[in-house]
Amino acid sequence: MLCGGISVIFFYVLPVTVLSGHRVDVDKVEGLVRQWAPLVWLSPEEKFMPSNVEEFLVNTNIADEHGSVLTGSKSPARFFQYNSKKVFLVPKRSLDSLKENYTSFLYGKSPKSYPPVPIYAVVTYCSNPASSEFPPDLLPTFHVTYWMFYPFNEGKDSCFLGKVPAPLIFSKCFGHYRKLGNHFGDWEHMSLSFSGHPYPDQLFLSVHDAGAYYAYQRNTNTFRFQAKMERKGVAQVPSYPEFIRLQGGHPVLFAAEGSHGLWSTPGDHEFIRVPKITDRTGFGAPWKTWGSIVFYHIGRSEMPAWMSFKGKWGNPKTKCILLKKFGLCEYTEGPRGLLRETNDFYC
């Protein structure tokens, strides 16, 4: 919340709780979450940095699918009042004016700034299997999703011939470029699954509307590619690197320039072929996320009002090419919030 212009983050201290008749040492769980939190390298040319949710929300209104601001959307109860999937969060000022002002909240903050940019860890408990490393009443089976928030997602330059997307020929566009896929608000994430051990079994890496599962290899201390996750109707066909390596025990990830999609290696990653859309990653600013985690324990800690918001964290689609349903829009819809209908892991 904001108090007199100062951002205040409340941490819920839950040293011991009860789960399915067993004692759960929450401090130990949070220790593991910190221990395995990712090191995220932002792109060297990144302009739109991560930020905290509170600063973003005080600069937004709730609007309908046409972009019209809804009555009462500025009230503290707005997230409960508009409990619908067909509403959007839009900026109080125009996106063009915010983009022209490089000190606006739209550009976020460097991960090296102080106070540090938070990452939001949502912990879901499952059960308490036996473990040789820890007593079963202290280390449960649980999943954790590390959510990273950016105020703005910059789209990609795509080649067009007239109003039709066109492939590159010998790496050259013989038409003109248009920047597609911009949107206000951007959630990215990585998830881990723990099964009663002090190390995860699996890692899920989200890449835009797709993603991949990686299995932890204790003998090499790496995560190895296991399977793709593809959603029906999504045109993305990325090729995933085989390994996710660790540095100091932390998975090393790379956030793509502008779009912030997460990859496990630096370089160029093509994820849509026509029009050709590529993520570019590299060694820019390092984001050591374990130093600024805000914890939310599902069913164990109080959740902020914004977590119940069912609408889109961004603008409706505008300036679309051809038909809106194909998603070829200069401004596409913002993402859903943290609590979604489908999860990366299930109990």
Question: Is 161 part of a structural domain of the chain?
Answer: no
Query: Which of 55-59, 67-71, 120-124 comes out lowest in average pLDDT?
Result: 67-71
CA dist 21 → 18, 128, 256, 300, 346 (Å): 6, 10, 44, 14, 21
Q: Which helix (H) or strand (E) holds 296?
A: strand 293-297
Of residues 179 and 28, which shows the higher confidence score?
28
Number of domains in the chain: 1
Question: Is 326 part of a structural domain of the chain?
Answer: no
Question: Is 175 part of a structural domain of the chain?
Answer: no
The tens digit of pLDDT for each residue in 84-116 reads 888 999 999 998 899 999 999 999 999 999 889
pLDDT of residue 84: 84
End-to-end CA gap in the chain: 32
pLDDT for 54 beyond 50: yes
The residue type of 254 is F
Question: Is 89 part of a structural domain of the chain?
Answer: yes
Calculate mean pLDDT across residues 340-346. Answer: 88
Calculate mean pLDDT across residues 161-182. Answer: 71
pLDDT for 167 beyond 70: no
DSSP secondary structure, 2-60, as one string = EETTEE-------SEEEETTEEEEHHHHHHHHHHT--EEEPPTT--S----HHHHHTTE
Question: Is 88 part of a structural domain of the chain?
Answer: yes
Question: Is 192 part of a structural domain of the chain?
Answer: yes
The tens digit of pLDDT for each residue in 295-310 reads 999 988 889 989 988 9
Taking Cα atoms as reference points, which of 234, 272, 317 lies closest to residue 158? 272
- The confidence band for 6, taking pLDDT boundaries of 50, 70 and 90, is very low
Say which residues have a Cβ less than 8 Å from residue 119's Cβ, sequence separation at least 6: 37, 146, 147, 148, 289, 292, 293, 294
Say which residues have a Cβ less than 8 Å from residue 344's Cβ, sequence separation at least 6: 143, 145, 189, 191, 204, 206, 211, 229
Count of beta carbons in the 10 Å neighbourhood of residue 272: 21
Question: Is 247 part of a structural domain of the chain?
Answer: yes
Which residue range(s) make up the domain with 31? 26-127+137-154+180-319+333-340
Q: Are 140 and 126 in contact (CB under 8 A)?
A: yes
Query: Which of 8-22, 65-79, 87-101 comes out lowest in average pLDDT?
Result: 8-22
pLDDT of residue 153: 93
The tens digit of pLDDT for each residue in 249-270 reads 999 999 999 999 999 999 988 7
Q: Within 13 Å of residue 50, how many CA atoms lie on the same side as its CB?
A: 30
pLDDT of residue 279: 87
Dihedral Cα 102, 107, 113, 114, nearest 10 deg: 100
- Runs of H (alpha helix) within the chain: 26-35, 53-57, 78-81, 95-100
pLDDT for 215 beyond 90: yes
Say which residues have a Cβ less than 8 Å from residue 53's Cβ, sequence separation at least 6: 120, 149, 306
Question: Is 242 part of a structural domain of the chain?
Answer: yes
The residue type of 109 is K
pLDDT of residue 80: 73
Query: Which of 14-18, 203-207, 224-228 comes out lowest in average pLDDT?
Result: 14-18
Mean pLDDT (the chain) is 83
